[in-house]
Amino acid sequence: MADDQSTQTPAKLNNATSTTLEPFDAWKPITSDKYCPFCQVATEYAPFPPEKPPAPTSDHPRPSKLSPRTYVVLSTPAVMAFLGASTLAGGHLLLCTRAHRPQMDAVDAHEAAELGRWLRVLSAAVARTTGLLAWNIVQSNGAEAAQTAFHTHFHVIPKPKGASASASPGSNFGRGYRLGLDHLTAPTLAQNLRRNIAKMVAEMGA
C-alpha cells in the first residue's frame, strides 16, 4: 500500500520518483518544482472533455498513476481539479492551473478566466454531489498567507450542516482538523463529481 501523505518523511520525499507526490497541505512549504505535486498530476493526467468524462473503467482517470492515489475530476488544457489528499470534508477539491504558476500574479489572463469559469461549475457540482449548500473557496499567496504548495490553486470546501465558525473554531478558510482521504469512498465520489460537472456544464452553459 502506498504511504499515506501524513506518514511521508523528508527522506522519503527526497528519494521520490516521478510518480510519487509530496503531501499537499501538511503546513510545510513545498517550493521545489521537481517535486511539485500539482505539476506531477498535470503530467500524468491528460485533458478530457468535461462534458463527456471518461468511464470509471477507463485508464484515463486511474487513481493509481500516482502515489498517493489521485482522483481527478476535471482536466482541461488550462486547469485541473482533484480530490484533496488531506481533506477538511468529503468533496474537498483542489483546482489548479495545469502550468506551473507559483502565485496568482503569475497566472495569465486565459488561465485566470478558466479558473473563474470552473470555480463556478465546481461549486455547483460539489453542492449537488454532497448535498451540502454551504462551502468555502480558499486561495493563498505566499508563506505569510499560509501558502504551502507554491503552485496556484484554490480549495473548494463543502461545509457540513450545522457547522459554524463558533462551533468549530479555525474550521473555515482552509484550516481545521484534516483527515487522510478515504480511498474506499473516493472512487465513487470522484465518479459522481465528474458526472455532476458534466451536468453543470450543460445546465449552466459553461
The CATH number linked to 83 is: 3.30.428.10
Question: Reduced to 3 states, what is the DSSP secondary structure of residue 20?
Answer: strand
Q: Is residue 14 in some structural domain? A: no
Q: How far apart are CA 57 and CA 167, in angstroms?
A: 41
Per cent of the chain over pLDDT 70 is 75
The verdict on whether 153 is a catalytic residue reads: yes
Active site residue: 100, 153, 155, 183, which one?
153
Query: Would you say residue 6 lies in a domain?
Result: no
Check residue 131 and give left, alpha or beta (phi > 0: left; psi -120 to 50: alpha): left
Q: Is 12 part of a structural domain of the chain?
A: no
End-to-end CA distance of the chain: 39
How many domains does the chain contain in total?
1
pLDDT category at 35 given cuts 50, 70, 90 is confident
In a domain, 50, yes or no: yes
Residues counted in the chain: 206
Question: Residue 140 in 3-state DSSP?
Answer: coil
User: Would you say residue 127 lies in a domain?
Assistant: yes
Q: What is the pLDDT of residue 86?
A: 78
Provide the residue range defining the domain that includes 129.
Answer: 26-204
Q: What is the pLDDT of residues 123-149, one digit of tens each?
A: 999 999 999 999 999 999 999 999 989
C-alpha span between 30 and 18 (Å, rounded): 16
Rounded to the nearest 5 degrees, what angle is found at the Cα of 85, between the Cα atoms of 79 and 91?
Answer: 70
Q: Is residue 190 part of a domain?
A: yes
- Mean pLDDT for 59-67 is 93
Q: Is 19 or 99 the better-scoring residue by pLDDT?
A: 99
Q: Which H or E run includes 179?
A: strand 179-180
Position 21 in a domain? no
Average pLDDT of the chain, as a whole number? 81
For residue 20, tell me if it sits in a domain.
Answer: no
- The pLDDT of residue 117: 97
pLDDT attached to residue 87: 81
> Sorting pLDDT into bands at 50, 70 and 90, what band is 33?
low
Residue listed under C-alpha cell 510545510: 28
